[in-house]
Amino acid sequence: MLPGVKLVVCGAGGMLGQDMVRAARFMNHEVTALDREALDISNERAVRRAIERERPAAVVNCAAYTAVDAAEDDSDAAMRLNADAAGTVASAAAAVGACVVYPSTDYVFDGTGERPYVESDEPSPKTVYGQTKLAGEVDTAAANPRHFLVRTSWLFGTGGRNFVETMLEIGERDKQVLVVRDQVGCPTWTGHLAAGIVRLLDTDAYGLHHMSAQGECSWYDFAMAIFEQAGVECSVLSTTTAEFARPAPRPAYSVLGTQWQDAIHLPEWQVGLRGYLEDRAS
């Protein structure tokens, strides 16, 4: 997109939403940032009115039901937001000729793979959250042919509860933490992802994209890197998924790769971690 193009960001108060607004403004785009208070995406009339009023070139839908464990007992609410409302946002964008970005998740896969999942791999979500996000991909694509479905993973960023914050809080308080070592994925800083999405919007490569940080690690490795980079003394003890049961089963392996020839590659996760730690300190 040429600088100065108009963008609407829904869910602008969340981790990705905040960085989307920043990244797009940095590239001199004109951004209307709509947090939950400004626009509840489950209110269809309000969504259509807001997008009709703004008439953007692109709508980035960062609003979502992201409480993975809570969704197991709250599937209707998760489906309404992640799928039904996402379809409304995509359709309202289509009505004014705008493309739409729908961020999705590695949780659409069951995690039994042994090599990075690519776009043509069959999804098979094992959680309600993953099922609702997959349904959101389908509804978004059906409502707007000019869609970018961007699957990403293990996000951390300003303005939300995330693993880095949890580790730093426990580490500073207890000086010891227990972390699972048998789940492997790609921790991705929302600052890098948002910049990648802004670049993607410059293309007409509509469709499904996997976009995570380069490299892979376990939550245990990630915790070690967090304490090392933050300069916090904390001993990290490893545990297993079986010993650390949660309501929603986590995929054991959910590294994302891409089949796009000219894919936008994000920096390595360690670089993202450094960027986030610097960002939160500034």
Q: Catalog residues that contact ligand NAP under the rule CB under 6 A.
A: 10-11, 13-17, 36, 40-42, 62-64, 66, 81, 103, 105, 133, 152-155, 160
At 37, list the tokens.
Answer: 């208070």
Q: Is 102 helix (H, G, I), strand (E, B) or coil?
A: strand
CA–CA separation, 99 and 95 (whole Å): 10
**What's the min distance (Å) between Cβ of 24 and ligand NAP?**
15
**What's the min distance (Å) between Cβ of 135 and ligand NAP?**
12
**What's the min distance (Å) between Cβ of 19 and ligand NAP?**
8
Q: Which residues pair with 32 in a beta bridge?
A: 8
Helices (H) and strands (E) in the chain, counts: 9, 12
Catalytic member of 102, 129, 253, 276: 129
- Of 32 and 153, which has the nearer Cβ to ligand NAP? 153
Q: Is 108 helix (H, G, I), strand (E, B) or coil?
A: helix
- Of 64 and 180, which has the nearer Cβ to ligand NAP? 64
Can 276 be counted among the known catalytic residues?
no
CA–CA separation, 254 and 250 (whole Å): 9
Q: Return the CA Rg of the chain.
A: 18
**What's the min distance (Å) between Cβ of 29 and ligand NAP?**
19
Write out the catalytic residue numbers: 129
